[in-house]
Amino acid sequence: MYPDVFGPRFGLDQLPGAVDWLLRTFRERDLAGAGITHWELFTLRDADSSRDGMFYRFGILRDDYSRKPAFARLRTLIAELGRPAPL
């Protein structure tokens, strides 16, 4: 999910609902239709950190795996908000 990139802007107060909708729709409609059972996270690393253009630098790591500023923020959020998934 890339807020403000592929859709209209929305407030931070709407983010939890947007994430819930996205994950639920993906799980219930797209994964079920494809017949696969899980979703793997991707694009943590830039495709090509040296190139301009929005599709090359989405990652939280540069293409040489060095950390970008967002890496520390994501790590903090996971530590603060992350919970183990129920079995």
DSSP 4-52: TTSS----GGGHHHHHHHHHHHIIIIIIHHHT--------SB-S-TTS-
Q: How far is CA 55 from the centre of its chain?
A: 14
pLDDT score at 39:
60
pLDDT score at 4:
63
* pLDDT single digits (tens) 4-63: 666 777 787 887 888 788 778 878 888 777 777 666 666 688 889 999 887 888 888 999
Indicate the pLDDT class of residue 64, thresholds 50, 70 and 90. very high
> For the chain, first and last CA: distance in Å?
25
13: its two tokens: 């107060």
Give the start-to-end residue ranges of the domains of the chain: 13-37, 43-87
